[in-house]
Amino acid sequence: MDWSFLFETLKTLLAGVPLTLQLATTALCTGFVLAACIATLAESAFAPARWFSRLYVMLFQGTPLLVQIFVIYYGFGQISFLRSSFAWPLLAQAYWCAILALSLNTSAYGAEIIRGAIAAVPEREIEAGRAIGMAGLLLRRRVIWPQALRYGLANYGNEAILLLKATSLASVITLMDVTGLAYRLVSKTYRSEEIFTVAGLIYLAMTFVIATCVHMLEGHLNPSRRV
């Protein structure tokens, strides 16, 4: 085994970690805000709002992320009002296209997780809250949201891991994240096994860190389950 080459590869690929993390965290935060909006619409009393949220989730969960990236990166240039709009300087860049696609994609999955977590809050706890005079935001802030956070955290952690892996698709539209750098290095050196293995180990390490953090946070939020 060529240790010095592996070490050099590791150093080259680690340079892509900041971009990968940037894509993942930006998309996770924007995606969460969008997801909360979509989940709210799903529970709305206004039927078209519910239809919209269902269509949104179906659209982004039912098509491959790669297709969504291509529609945004290649397809949006064809829409003339987008080309003349204020958003065009951003949408003309692969980076922002990737962020947009990843955020929209993860928000559809996130909306389902949030909806499920809120539905999992026991009815009796909400009733108890109402019985002592809580309503509206107070009820949500004190009873529904804290409980929903506990129910949804594990699932949202899984989604964060899936999102981190999904950022690797941004390399297809020329972004130099860990996968992009690995691909470029392979086309220079033809040593695919070593390079892609090192890249895979970097992703494994990152997913391990996320999983551990989520697990610790879960333990923190559920003192009763601690052993």
Partner 1 sequence: MNTQSLALVGFGPDGWGKLLLLAAGLTLAAAVCSFALGSLLGTVGAALKLAPNHALRWIGTFYTTLFRGIPEILVVYLFYFGGSLALTHLMHLAGFPGFFSLPSFVIGVVAIALVSGAYQTEAFRSAYCRLERGQIEAGKACGMSSTVLLRRIIAPQTLRFALPALGNIWQSVLKETALLSIIGLVELLRQSTIASGATRQPLLFYGVAALVYLIMGQTTALGIRAVEKRFSRCWGR
48 forms part of the interface with partner 1 (CB under 8 A): no
Of 85, 96, 122, the closest CA to residue 30 belongs to 96
- The Cα 224–Cα 165 span in angstroms is 32
Could you tell me where the DSSP H helices lie in the chain? 3-14, 17-42, 47-62, 65-70, 80-83, 88-91, 94-119, 123-131, 136-139, 145-166, 178-189, 192-221
Judged by beta carbon, residue 7 or residue 208, the one nearer partner 1 is 208
On the CB side of 163, CA atoms within 13 Å amount to 33
Residues 160-179 as x/- pattern, contact with partner 1 by CB under 8 A: -x---xx-xx-xx------x
User: According to the binding rule CB under 8 A, does residue 24 interact with partner 1?
Assistant: no
Q: Which residues have CB under 8 Å from 77's CB, separation 6+?
A: 83, 92
Binding status of residue 59 toward partner 1 by CB under 8 A: yes
Check residue 79 for interaction with partner 1 (CB under 8 A). Answer: yes
Q: Does 84 bind partner 1 (CB under 8 A)?
A: no
Confirm or reject binding of residue 62 to partner 1 (CB under 8 A): yes
> Is 186 one of the binding residues for partner 1 (CB under 8 A)?
yes
Q: Residues in the site for partner 1, rule: CB under 8 A?
A: 58-59, 61-68, 70-71, 74-79, 161, 165-166, 168-169, 171-172, 179, 182-183, 186, 190, 192-193, 196-197, 199-200, 203-204, 207-208
